[in-house]
Amino acid sequence: MVQTSVINDLLNAIGDTGLFGERRRRRIGREEVSALIAALLTGRGEASSTERAAEVLATYRDLDGAGRTFVFRTLLADYGPDTTALTTAAERYLAEPGHSTAKALQRAALPQRVEFFRRINNVQGGTQALVAMRCELMDRMAHHPDLWVVDDDLKRLLIAWFNRGFLTLRAIDWQTSAAVLEKIIRYESVHAINGWDDLRRRIDVPDRKLFGFFHPRLGDEPLIFVEVALTTQTPRAIGPILSGERTPIRPEEATTAVFYSINNCQEGLRGISLGNFLIKQVVADLTRDYPNLKTFVTLSPVPTFRAWLEGPEAPLTDETRATPEASLAPLAAHYLTAVKDARGRPLDPVARFHLGNGATLAQINPGADGSARGLAASHGLMVNYRYALSDIEANHEAFVNGGAVSAAPAIAKLARSVRPSPDAAPLPAPV
Amino acid sequence: MVQTSVINDLLNAIGDTGLFGERRRRRIGREEVSALIAALLTGRGEASSTERAAEVLATYRDLDGAGRTFVFRTLLADYGPDTTALTTAAERYLAEPGHSTAKALQRAALPQRVEFFRRINNVQGGTQALVAMRCELMDRMAHHPDLWVVDDDLKRLLIAWFNRGFLTLRAIDWQTSAAVLEKIIRYESVHAINGWDDLRRRIDVPDRKLFGFFHPRLGDEPLIFVEVALTTQTPRAIGPILSGERTPIRPEEATTAVFYSINNCQEGLRGISLGNFLIKQVVADLTRDYPNLKTFVTLSPVPTFRAWLEGPEAPLTDETRATPEASLAPLAAHYLTAVKDARGRPLDPVARFHLGNGATLAQINPGADGSARGLAASHGLMVNYRYALSDIEANHEAFVNGGAVSAAPAIAKLARSVRPSPDAAPLPAPV
Amino acid sequence: MVQTSVINDLLNAIGDTGLFGERRRRRIGREEVSALIAALLTGRGEASSTERAAEVLATYRDLDGAGRTFVFRTLLADYGPDTTALTTAAERYLAEPGHSTAKALQRAALPQRVEFFRRINNVQGGTQALVAMRCELMDRMAHHPDLWVVDDDLKRLLIAWFNRGFLTLRAIDWQTSAAVLEKIIRYESVHAINGWDDLRRRIDVPDRKLFGFFHPRLGDEPLIFVEVALTTQTPRAIGPILSGERTPIRPEEATTAVFYSINNCQEGLRGISLGNFLIKQVVADLTRDYPNLKTFVTLSPVPTFRAWLEGPEAPLTDETRATPEASLAPLAAHYLTAVKDARGRPLDPVARFHLGNGATLAQINPGADGSARGLAASHGLMVNYRYALSDIEANHEAFVNGGAVSAAPAIAKLARSVRPSPDAAPLPAPV
Amino acid sequence: MVQTSVINDLLNAIGDTGLFGERRRRRIGREEVSALIAALLTGRGEASSTERAAEVLATYRDLDGAGRTFVFRTLLADYGPDTTALTTAAERYLAEPGHSTAKALQRAALPQRVEFFRRINNVQGGTQALVAMRCELMDRMAHHPDLWVVDDDLKRLLIAWFNRGFLTLRAIDWQTSAAVLEKIIRYESVHAINGWDDLRRRIDVPDRKLFGFFHPRLGDEPLIFVEVALTTQTPRAIGPILSGERTPIRPEEATTAVFYSINNCQEGLRGISLGNFLIKQVVADLTRDYPNLKTFVTLSPVPTFRAWLEGPEAPLTDETRATPEASLAPLAAHYLTAVKDARGRPLDPVARFHLGNGATLAQINPGADGSARGLAASHGLMVNYRYALSDIEANHEAFVNGGAVSAAPAIAKLARSVRPSPDAAPLPAPV
């Protein structure tokens, strides 16, 4: 079989799944693994530690699933803070609280495993390996919930390393390398890209743009990307945006930028803020390049709408049940503005993201997405969130501080028309 | 006066000293400063915080020295860890030590000022501003020793951000931009570069190289750089290396790479390991490009030798006082191998650096540097530290674990010839 | 319909064929065209002529086929040399031959249309337009044979502008932009590339290379490219080279570089030497990167073999007709070494190219290409030409001066086994 | 002595003058030179000729002055057109004038030495070598006037190769490499740059720009460059432009772009149009970047004014002689608008250049340049030529067709105030 760069990617990261992984795996004793980790952390010199870190990484690649679990559990059990020192520091702080004892306590509380991850990061390809490693770590948290402690350490480091200041925004177009473009095809999960010709319709026409964040240590790996359509009005459906039959407009004529797909590419960076920075930067760049753009909106899915509608919480009445199609919009308005999670935030994750960023729920579009996926998620309903520069700050504050959701007056009115009725049966799908 | 990029640099960083700083300064009330910091840290959203962080930075730039001190003291006094939470967490940990309570304690111990620095770092130019800010912070530690607590927080972040993985090595030559080259001229402090023609003799000849580490967020600012001469033997003096009258050799003929000047450029990164990584990388790159290179040595100053020699600790005898010139080498051998600081490391900082990296003290060269600076530091004596790939690891381990200094047999013998005599008078300067 | 860069390419060059061309065309009178050309050539200043040249080019783009023919005929009829001046210069030279009169005659003989093409070339996109224009000019030469005079002028300019010194060699791989890669897919005509996955098998594996010549004025347009397989022996068939099922080797292990496809991309550059420079450069670059490479061979089609075999000239005997399969190799040996065109060069164009470059006919491979195209051209037979650095110069000289063909002894012997018999019937296809 | 890139430049081009040239020279027989040239031109294959061309070039580098003269004379004597063929072609054309016979004559008239230069150009560094070679050729034309025939052949090729389309405009600033910047310092001959600090005042301030044309084959060698000051009015003197004491303005505030120095860098490209294209391009780029710019003027020397004034042709009267200072402006107005060379163009070369490009003589500034050079050339008088987009075309046409000079009304009036008086004595220098 021809080895291509997809396969190389895997090998270069942690090369786990599939044929190659299997073939490479060898029987590695737990003592050997423990000894390697210990050697890495006891050598005090940073420079000479890089070779050892590379060795640890190579061994990790050769480990099977159980072996890797053992690594994580070792990091949890043996490489937390020094308990004697921590006890002493805690006692001293309690005895004499102050800057100095607090600082000493902070230092004593720092787990030794943090240094483990730091040294791995020094290795060529180490950052990518840690991102991949975190995926595996999170996978294991279902059966090993106490591993969240290790994940927290790794996540804090990734937050420092994937600081906004280190990210670079790249405009992706037909001049971009195939190595990057194939990853765009692979990672697009909102509105799938069906091969290179389909990709081309999204990046090689004047009224379509694609922007992604990249990190110097991850090379051609996008972290997150957004697809933008330049239009003359807020779109009510995804079909015309993706159509290959349309006539493009000159971007200078456009008044509206539509963010119609946002994709996080690195599962291992879950929980690390990227999307809000991306949107802010793209709005700024587009405004500079096309001063006629006045409106910035999304065309967004409501991924959890139908599940909620078919669940026990949906406020369905005989009327809504009789006219399912007409009832969708009011129910969606109600769902997005009034239905919250335990922490008082919108239940729908996409709503949570955009409303949390300071956007306004601007428009509800039944029948906007006829794809199997769209129908399954929300009976085909999509919504527009609008980013109005003048309101973002206030919206964001109100959302963060009081859970307030910003919605257009018509939507707020629509939402109020829905009377909650907790014991209702689920809504049948509109035909 | 014509504003040029040196001046712009200052303005772009924190624009403190001199005429421009003065002119820009305005009277800013302490309440305003406090309010700004508070606003930056209470807004929970990361994206919207960037504007506030930019505002804080702009205000900081306008502050005078006392105002800036106030900022640091405020960060110390008001933005440590939440004391109530920390007390609770410490008590809980002591009551029930475990992964979970340790992690909770670690989180509670994290000072709020860490988030302050993080958000500043998100601003365009923020990293450079923080590096400059740390210089000012360290300056103030003489009169405000408790500020070390704030410095420790900032330093930890800088360690994460200036991780080896983020540094890029650049070969500096005559193709490099003037913007970078002028910084090289400015930052060279071991063997001063006297203008562009002198620079040229160090970078635009086939047997001279210059390499520097750069960071994506600091643009054209070098972090540290090393100057290398390719030769056919280990040099005994600096003059022939720097001479403009010599005939260059073809680099392929060279057997020896001499690191004759290493310069840390960013005072604000003090204490963050860069030099050992730089040397390792340059050795690797040179070995790849010029396979004939077998020997890697420094030609290094001994900056504290004369001060020690003239101090009360020097083991001077009537004999050494009678033959000051002949005694220099043995005394230097003794000084570098046997005289230690409180932590058991060589007193001389250059020795500490190279020996700590795993180098061997290979040769002692009296009369190697006739410059005023060289005479003042060490009566003109210089030394060669040798980096032998096969020994580095072991030397480093021995140094870190037992304080052992690796020295050539002849030097060890020379050192043993010196009999310590604590009550001796200082050595007169050789004529 | 979505406009993509393929379409833009056409518009940007001369935008002729198809829907877009049609739509843009307007009725342009011949007087207008003549006046434009005249205005371009009478304005004496070069700088101000660029706008006029752009106008001429825009008008040309709007012209239909007849209009364009009119342009070429106008250039022939009205913009040759000044006949009065040429007559005078010719008479003077004959009267008094010498450097000065020869130079004056040379100047007088220069057609004015040369300046027309030169000024077009100054326009942004002008070079590409001229290359496209030459295609159209050559097309018209079938019905307008006298246009060769105009073509000769344009070709001479293109020879100057596409001078080897201006060409840059680029290695094409998966890091290359999609804009370039799609052109590679489009221009590959020897062994068609079936989409992006197939392309990837040729450029994103360690033992396959692709190199192309580019010109600064033509941007992403390749002029010519060659595909190379790194192997451990001279291949006897194309199938294993193109297979997606093979296991790649490490390029350092390879001893042999196989040029298995060479493609001229710009019909408008016909007759301008590119291929020989390309091969020389690629051999040099590969030798530098992979010192183990010792053998450089092609795996080449014999595009005219079957046509010749089925024509009246083939020396078929009863025997060859009885054993068509066994006879193919000897007949091919004879064909390639002994059958010449009117100018004494090999009849087969691929043979002419490689043998003219100094290669040696090294091996004949019946059954090497089972594709429809391969069977139609040569009953599936392919050959290897070998480039041996030590022989190239002598082979080339012998070829140029005496028409000598360099062939391996075994092939020369095989060729001699064929007895020419001019009145023979064509060979039946082997089954 | 330390070899630096200046020296390398020389060696890389033709390495003639000075120490290095001398040292390398060896005794080379004329037969050997002749044989090399012959070998280069008789080998028919282009690719194999590159090695021979490199050999010719290497030999040329080793030749002394007389040897090089021999090369040029050989090219003149032995490598003109084939005289027999040319005679035949001339006779045929005269007998039967037509496209075909004209083309045949054109081909026959092409000297063989053209191929010589073409093949040299294929060599790495060949273009630069030919440009340097042309300098030497032009030098020899004083004593060998018939070499103009060879120069004409080389110049025609250079015109094709240095076609506007191949030139790239680069903005030169403090980010530019030292390798380029040092050439700017070296080549500035209008207002000398005194070292790197002085250079910085011209390229590292917001209201100063420098643009140059470069050619892909000449690397870091500028062909021509222009220095621009952004101001709020048309300057009357050079001092304030060059001063290091001034306060820069923000470029957005500027209304006027002043071209205060234009330098041709390559003597070997003499006679090849570059300046007019450069000015046009810079005007276009500045207009795009700074839309507030409305006025584009030069501040130009009048290099031949004083020589003319002190010559026999100056129309001096008793009055002008009595008030030399007051008379300078009217005399300059007269000189620049009314005094012409044999071909009807302005006698002053700078006037000829700008007026020929379509500029208008806008302002005359006595006392504008107090430097020794300025006083020697024009008693310190400088002028402004204005490039007004709306007039350029018409001015250029009027200039080319009728020799008309465009001047501001006030200047035209001033010029008319001077009454020619051919028998006048030269003007004394104003004190």
pLDDT for the residue D317 = 80
Neighboring chain D residues of C100 at a CB cutoff of 8 Å: 146, 149
Local confidence band at A51 (pLDDT 50, 70, 90 cut-offs): confident
Per-residue pLDDT for D48 more than 80?
no
Question: Which run of H or E residues covers position B171?
Answer: strand B168-171
Residue A325 confidence class, pLDDT cut points 50, 70, 90: confident
Mean pLDDT of A189-211: 95
Contact across the interface for D48 and C396, Cβ inside 8 Å: yes
The predicted-structure confidence for D227-237, as pLDDT tens digits, reads as follows 999 999 999 99
pLDDT the model gives residue D288: 93
pLDDT(B241) > 70 = yes
How many angstroms away from the CA of B110 is the closest CA of chain A? Answer: 6
Confidence of residue A294 (pLDDT cuts 50, 70, 90): very high
**Whether the predicted pLDDT of D47 surpasses 70:** no
Cα–Cα distance for residue pair C95/C87, rounded to 1 Å: 12
Which residues of chain D does C355 touch, with a Cβ-Cβ cutoff of 8 Å?
A: none
Distance to chain D for B3, nearest Cα, Å: 6
pLDDT digits (tens, 9 = 90+) for C97-109: 999 999 999 999 9
3-class state of residue B28 by DSSP: coil
How much is the pLDDT for A421? 57
Minimum-distance CB partner of C1 among A195, A206, A245: A245
Start-to-end Cα distance in chain D: 48
How do residues D361-401 score in pLDDT, each as one tens digit?
A: 999 999 999 999 999 999 999 999 999 988 988 898 889 88
Residues of A in contact with B109 (CB under 8 A): 102, 105-106, 109
pLDDT bracket for residue B402 (50, 70, 90): confident
A204: which chain C residues are within 8 Å (Cβ-Cβ)? 4-5
Cβ distance B201 to D4 less than 8 Å, yes or no, reads yes
Q: What percent of chain A has pLDDT over 70?
A: 90
Is D87 within 8 Å of C81 when comparing Cβ atoms?
no
What's the first-to-final CA gap in chain B, in angstroms?
A: 47
Average pLDDT over residues D241-253: 93
Stretch 248-307 of chain A: residues touching chain B, C-beta under 8 Å: 273, 276-277, 280
Q: Do chains B and C touch (3 or more CB pairs under 8 A)?
A: no
pLDDT at position A389 over 50: yes
Predicted confidence (pLDDT) per residue in B319-337, tens digit? 777 777 888 999 999 999 9
Give D413 or D420, the one with higher predicted confidence: D413
| pLDDT band with cut points at 50, 70 and 90 for residue C15 | very low
Task: Report the neighbours of B using a cutoff of 3 or more CB pairs below 8 angstroms.
Answer: A, D
d(CA D94, nearest CA chain C) in Å: 6
Between B and D, how many residue pairs show a Cβ–Cβ distance under 8 A?
A: 70
Query: For A17-26, A221-230, A310-319, A348-357, which range has the lowest pLDDT when averaged over its residues?
Result: A17-26
User: Does an interface of 3+ CB pairs under 8 Å exist between D and A?
Assistant: no
Tell me what pLDDT residue B404 has: 92
Q: Is the pLDDT at B102 greater than 80, yes or no? A: yes
Question: What distance in Å separates the CA atoms of residue D46 and residue D28, rounded to the nearest whole number?
Answer: 26
Q: Looking at the complex, does the CB of residue D186 fall below 8 Å from at least one CB of chain B?
A: no
- Model pTM score: 0.88
Q: Stretch D281-289: mean pLDDT, rounded?
A: 95
Q: Which of B83, B86, B131, B276 to mutate to test the interface with A (most CBs of A within 10 A)?
A: B86
Confidence of residue B22 (pLDDT cuts 50, 70, 90): very low
Q: What pLDDT, on a 0 to 100 scale, did the predictor assign at position A423? A: 54
> Which of C176, C201, C206 is opposite residue A177, by nearest beta carbon?
C176
For residue A100, give both structure tokens.
């100095």
Query: What mean pLDDT comes out for the span D167-196?
Result: 96
C-alpha–C-alpha distance, residues A226 and A265, integer Å: 11
Average pLDDT of chain D? Answer: 89
Please judge whether C103 and D152 are an interchain contact, meaning their C-beta atoms are less than 8 angstroms apart.
yes
* Residue A121 to residue C280: CA distance in whole angstroms: 44
Q: What is the pLDDT of residues C282-295, one digit of tens each?
A: 999 999 999 999 99
Rounded to a whole number of angstroms, the distance from the CA of D269 to the nearest CA of chain B is: 25
**At what angle are helices D65-78 and D30-42 packed, to 10 degrees?**
40
**Tell me, what's the pLDDT at B429?**
56
Give the C-alpha separation, D375 to D361, whole Å: 21
Residue written as token pair 């000012």: B136
Name the band, by pLDDT with cuts 50, 70 and 90, for residue C14: very low
- Cβ within 8 Å, pair D106-C111: yes
Among the ranges given (A33-47, A357-371, B331-345), the one the predictor scored with the smallest mean pLDDT: A33-47
- Answer yes or no: do D178 and B179 touch at CB < 8 A: no
**Can you tell me the ipTM of this complex?**
0.86
The whole-angstrom distance between D206's CA and the closest CA on chain B is 8
Question: Could you tell me if B50 lies within 8 Å of chain A, comparing CB atoms?
Answer: yes
Q: Which member of A45, A106, A392 has the closest CB to residue B109?
A: A106
Q: Do C46 and D76 touch (CB under 8 A)?
A: no
Can you say whether the dihedral through the CA atoms of C139, C142, C147, C152 is positive or negative? positive
Residues of C in contact with D111 (CB under 8 A): 102, 106
Q: What is the pLDDT of residue B2?
A: 41
What pLDDT is recorded for position C419?
Answer: 73
Handedness of CA D345, D351, D353, D355 (dihedral sign): negative
Q: Can you tell me which residue has the tokens 């989409």?
A: C195
Does position D425 have pLDDT exceeding 90, yes or no?
Answer: no
Q: What is the pLDDT of residue D389?
A: 85
Determine the pLDDT at residue C420.
Answer: 65
Query: Which range (B25-29, B148-152, B155-159) has the least confidence?
Result: B25-29
For residue C227, what are its two tokens? 């595909």
**Span A150-154, mean pLDDT?**
98
- Residue percentage of chain B with pLDDT more than 70: 90
- CB interface of B with A, residues 124-183, below 8 Å: 126-127, 146, 149, 152, 157, 160-161, 163-166, 168
Q: Give the per-residue pLDDT at D9.
A: 42
Residue D14, pLDDT > 60, answer no
DSSP-assigned letters across all residues of D183-243 = HHHHH--SS---HHHHHHHHHSSTTEEEEEEE-TTTTT--SEEEEEEEESS--S-SHHHH-
Chain C: residue whose CA lies nearest to D145: C100
Q: Measured between alpha carbons, how far is A283 from A297 in angstroms, rounded to an integer?
A: 10
Nearest-CA distance from B273 to chain D in Å?
Answer: 29
pLDDT at residue A120 above 50? yes
- A179 to chain C: which residues are within 8 Å by CB? 174-175
Mean pLDDT of chain C: 89
- Rounded CA-CA distance C184/C190 in Å is 12
Inter-chain touch B217–A43, beta carbons under 8 Å: no
Q: Which residue has the higher pLDDT, B425 or D101?
A: D101
Taking the mean position of all CA atoms in its chain, how far away is CA B379? 24
Q: Which stretches within C110-192 are classed as H helix?
A: 113-122, 126-140, 148-161, 178-187
Contact with chain A for residue C4, Cβ under 8 A: yes
**Which residue of chain A comes nearest to B52, CA vs CA?**
A393
For range A241-269, the mean pLDDT: 95
pLDDT tens per residue, range B272-303: 989 989 999 999 999 999 999 999 999 999 99
Instruction: Give the closest-approach CA distance of C320 to chain D in angstroms.
Output: 38
- Chain B partners of A400 at a C-beta cutoff of 8 Å? 43-45
Comparing A103-112, C40-49, D56-65, the range with the smallest average pLDDT is C40-49
| Residue B20 predicted with pLDDT over 60 | no
Structure confidence at residue C86 as a pLDDT band (50, 70, 90): very high
Interface test mutation site (partner D, options B1, B3, B4, max chain D beta carbons within 10 A):
B4
Q: Which residues contact A110 (CB under 8 A, 6 or more apart)?
A: A81, B106
Contact between D181 and B176 using a beta-carbon 8 Å cutoff: no
Residue A388 clears pLDDT 50, i.e. is over it: yes
Which of C3, C177, C206 is nearest residue A248 as measured by Cβ atoms? C3
User: What tens digit of pLDDT does each residue of C374-418 get?
Assistant: 999 999 999 999 999 889 888 988 898 888 999 999 999 999 988
A186 touching C, CB under 8 A?
A: no
Q: Is D211 on the interface with C (CB under 8 A)?
A: no
d(CA D163, CA C163): 13
Hey, is the C-beta of C205 within 8 angstroms of any chain D C-beta?
no
Q: Residue D3 above 60 pLDDT?
A: no
pLDDT band at A12 (very low <50, low <70, confident <90, very high): very low
Provide mean pLDDT across the span C242-270. Answer: 95
CA–CA gap between residue A54 and residue A69 (Å, rounded): 19
Whether pLDDT at B119 is above 70 = yes
Distance CA B354, CA B344 (A): 15
pLDDT at D364: 97
Question: What is the pLDDT at residue D201?
Answer: 94
Those residues whose C-beta lies under 8 Å from the C-beta of residue A210, and which sit 6 or more positions away, are: A171, A172, A173, A184, A202, A203, A225, A226, A227, A228
* List of residues 6+ apart from D96 with CB closer than 8 A: none
Examine the pLDDT at D24 and tell me if it is beyond 80. no
- Can you read off the two tokens belonging to residue A399? 């959302």
Range 332-371 of C in CB contact (< 8 A) with D: 356-358
Q: Residue C75: is its pLDDT beyond 50?
A: yes
A246 contacts C2? CB cut-off 8 A: yes
Mean local confidence (pLDDT), A6-30: 46
Closest CB from B90, B157, B396 relative to A105 = B90
Contact C280 D47 (CB under 8 A): yes
Hey, are the CB atoms on D105 and C86 less than 8 Å from each other?
Answer: yes
Stated as kind and residue range, the H or E segment containing A228 is strand A224-231
**Model confidence at C19: pLDDT above 80:** no
pLDDT of residue D324: 79
With an 8 Å Cβ cutoff, is C245 touching chain A?
yes
How sure is the predictor about D28, in pLDDT bands with cuts at 50, 70 and 90?
confident
Helix (H, G, I), strand (E, B) or coil at B298: strand
pLDDT above 90 coverage of chain D, percent: 73
